[in-house]
Structure 1
């Protein structure tokens, strides 16, 4: 098959998913290409895309794509359609809200029309129901559903959100979880970590960093505990978090560092904390679990699907007291936390592999092409 993946930002878990998928599809003999935003990701994204280029028969194309809806979307959509017309793919796979729009609008630029596949990745479903943004995005989802041959959801959570706010699509749909490589299950280096707690991710309120700061202050003031925390990442709320850390006199406990590879970060602390208010199926949880690092995470999005029978350990979101209690418990009982981490590692190893992800999506494409062919013939 000739497969073109369309997405906006070459950063974060969505980019990791597309890169793993494109590489796996190429290794299985398919001709694959990518098209994404030209202004996002910086040098790191460019290096990752350059490393992918040699394995992608249809290459990498970058065009300007804005994060929020705007007049620039018209030019971006035309650029994607023009690129699709030149490549004539069998599959146009859109990832995320913007990628989904551009891929589905571009399908008729291909003759015969390509099968349009859409994976939401959760972003547009993180807005509060009833808000203006949520209404706009859900309306767009309804209008575009009829142009979609196949919906692939990376978590049961996002599928359920789609059904609740858009409705059952009427077209074929499938849940295919993100996967990890075998190398990601290798043990971390044995050494004494310099920190007790680690957060890694985008520094924004959606990720619950402010709740984690509240929990640290509560542990100190109520229990006299002063665990050392390293925040690894960058984001729009970094300045506000730094101000809050200083105001609460936590600067001696909290260190902020720029982004780095996750296994390097995981070696820095005894326990990983994921205090998010919203998620889809976060790679950071999968990667920490695969490395056998003890985890504290909130019961949001697809995280319960990762934890499986261990989901009872998850913490209520936006609850600093519950988070503080979980932190104190893990740090006081590290041997038990390590045993739980080993069980979670085995659960993730059995259920979340790149190979299964790629094979399941390719099988789904075959069904999508059959649907598209039947519709066009009719």
Structure 2
């Protein structure tokens, strides 16, 4: 149905994190453009938060939300679900199967075998996070190579992901394109810090990979202009919360660090004056985009696709895991707030021109039509 209304089935394992944010945004945009969309999700992950997120998407998913068993690693569901998705695609007369993440991409491409639909794939980190040395990594990387013939195109969220995929799996034999995640217009409205806002704000999972222990160590010697100790507010939860709280106590930071638990990002930004993302590894984190669009100065590490977000200000990124460099960046932002604001404006202009939701959705829809035209 090239050039007209499409019937699209998006396939993902679990509706959490940046992957779900991307799928939700794309589902709404496709529906608003007149296309019909259905979702395939994991029946094994069905807590109240998951169901609430899916319920909010129901008005846009006119082809329904369908649940099948999708084990996180390899499992029995992997033998049945691809066939169930293929049957569903045939019943719904699907034009485009779009798989998200390692499992979503696996099922979508297997499901197109023997059918008329084309299959596209967005890794979202997914398979890129599997080590070559692990059994799961070797299996998934082999599957990636085997499924290339069933792939109409691969969409990468960042040039970093595109390069990493080629290095791990090999140069794709299908078309590939980089389409950055995008933000809605209301996300570019400035967030005004609260009167009693902390100096720094962190939003993310409390786990080692997010650099939280490096952040705590860096905060120790950072001070304000009046020589009072700098403060930090953190929204998030995760497996490292208990050891992180112990580290805060060990460093004597209990009065300087406030843990809020899991909270939405945008309201939390108002509780700090400078956003900080000290991750040890990332793909293309929404939190960096969101904080920059909210017009906060941002301190971040040079990992994954973050340099693509920082654009003309990428020289300000700090090395991952470097306590001294992170502390220096934090202190420098407090010592020179005008320079931090000027840098923020340069970054904002870059993001506004390249990371809009409209640009993302239009580019993906154009790719769907292009792949269907080649099929």
| TM-score w.r.t. length of structure 2 | 0.92
- SS of residue paired to 2:263: coil
- CA displacement at 1:214 relative to structure 2: 2.1
- Alpha-carbon distance in 2 for matches of 1:231, 1:144: 41
Structure 2 gaps, min length 5: 1-5
- Alpha-carbon distance in 1 for matches of 2:77, 2:196: 47
**1:335 maps to 2:338:** yes
- The aligned residue for residue 243 of structure 1 is 246
Contact 2:205/2:236 (<8 A) preserved: yes
Deviations 1:244-277 (A, max 9, x none): 2223322222121222221101000011111111
Contact 1:6/1:94 (<8 A) preserved: yes
The partner residue of 2:302 within 299, 317, 325 is 299
- Alpha-carbon distance in 1 for matches of 2:237, 2:46: 12
The partner residue of 1:65 within 61, 70, 73 is 70
Deviations 1:290-316 (A, max 9, x none): 010010001111111111111001010
Q: Which moved more, 1:45-54 or 1:127-136?
A: 127-136
- SS of residue paired to 1:280: coil
**1:115 maps to 2:115:** no
Deviations 1:305-337 (A, max 9, x none): 111111001010111111111111112222221
- SS of residue paired to 1:146: helix
- Alpha-carbon distance in 1 for matches of 2:85, 2:139: 22
- The aligned residue for residue 19 of structure 1 is 24
Relative to structure 1, the CA distance from residue 201 to residue 17 in structure 2 (aligned partners, 3 Å threshold; closer, same or farther) is: same
- CA displacement at 1:210 relative to structure 2: 1.7
The partner residue of 2:138 within 117, 135, 146 is 135
The partner residue of 1:276 within 279, 284, 300 is 279
Q: Which moved more, 1:158-167 or 1:60-69?
A: 60-69
Structure 1 gaps, min length 5: 374-378
- The aligned residue for residue 349 of structure 1 is 352
Q: Which moved more, 1:100-109 or 1:283-292?
A: 100-109
Give the aligned length.
367
For the aligned residue pairs, the C-alpha RMSD in angstroms reads: 1.9
- CA displacement at 1:39 relative to structure 2: 4.1
Q: Which moved more, 1:186-195 or 1:318-327?
A: 186-195
Relative to structure 1, the CA distance from residue 128 to residue 208 in structure 2 (aligned partners, 3 Å threshold; closer, same or farther) is: farther
- The aligned residue for residue 209 of structure 1 is 212
- SS of residue paired to 1:330: helix
The partner residue of 2:329 within 316, 326, 330 is 326
The partner residue of 1:50 within 51, 55, 65 is 55
Contact 2:74/2:136 (<8 A) preserved: no
Contact 1:21/1:358 (<8 A) preserved: yes
- Alpha-carbon distance in 2 for matches of 1:196, 1:39: 41
**1:36 maps to 2:60:** no
Contact 1:218/1:321 (<8 A) preserved: no
Contact 1:197/1:269 (<8 A) preserved: yes
Contact 1:2/1:91 (<8 A) preserved: yes
Deviations 1:112-161 (A, max 9, x none): 2x101000111332345545554333222212222211111111110011
- Alpha-carbon distance in 2 for matches of 1:253, 1:79: 53
Contact 2:160/2:305 (<8 A) preserved: yes
- Alpha-carbon distance in 2 for matches of 1:368, 1:155: 20
**1:85 maps to 2:86:** no
- The aligned residue for residue 156 of structure 1 is 159
Deviations 1:143-192 (A, max 9, x none): 22222111111111100111112122111111111111111111113532
**1:146 maps to 2:136:** no
